[in-house]
Amino acid sequence: MNSLMFPRLLFLLLCMTCVQVSAASELTCFEGPTSEESCGGTGLKVCLSGNQIRQMDWTIETSREFIRRQYSFNKGKPSSVIETIYWKLDSHGDYYAKPHLQSVKKYRLNVSNPTSKQADLLKHAQFLIHDFQKNRKEFKAINF
């Protein structure tokens, strides 16, 4: 490797980190409830850059599980989501001491021919966007 190559790579990595940090610091985030039905409650965190949604983090607790969906946006449209599911109960119906990780899956949402799961996730993202816009007064600003 050329002796000038390492400093250039290091500089490039530092520049990429600075861009990511400055992009994150420009986000304004809000947190609040959704209007969805749930025995354990739901929550939504929405991060905006100006008036465009950049990230949404949704959680729901049911009697059996916790579900978390972390939506990422590109140009104001949902582009991907990471869905994480934790079981609260074992196979005998007894509560785990700590929730048990069941699955973590990533789905691309900016596809031309979505699967039924991707279509459901897109529909849910649109619901959450509408719910946030409708009930924004109930959301509080948080530090990101």
pLDDT of 143 strictly over 70: yes
Q: What are 9-65's pLDDT values in tens digits?
A: 334 343 443 334 444 458 899 999 898 877 778 899 999 999 899 999 999 988 899
Q: How many residues does the chain have?
A: 144
């021919």: which residue's tokens?
113
* Residue 5, CA distances (Å) to 2, 11, 13 in order: 5, 10, 12
- Say what the pLDDT of residue 25 is: 53
Rg (CA), the chain: 19
Neighbours of 132 (CB within 10 A): 20
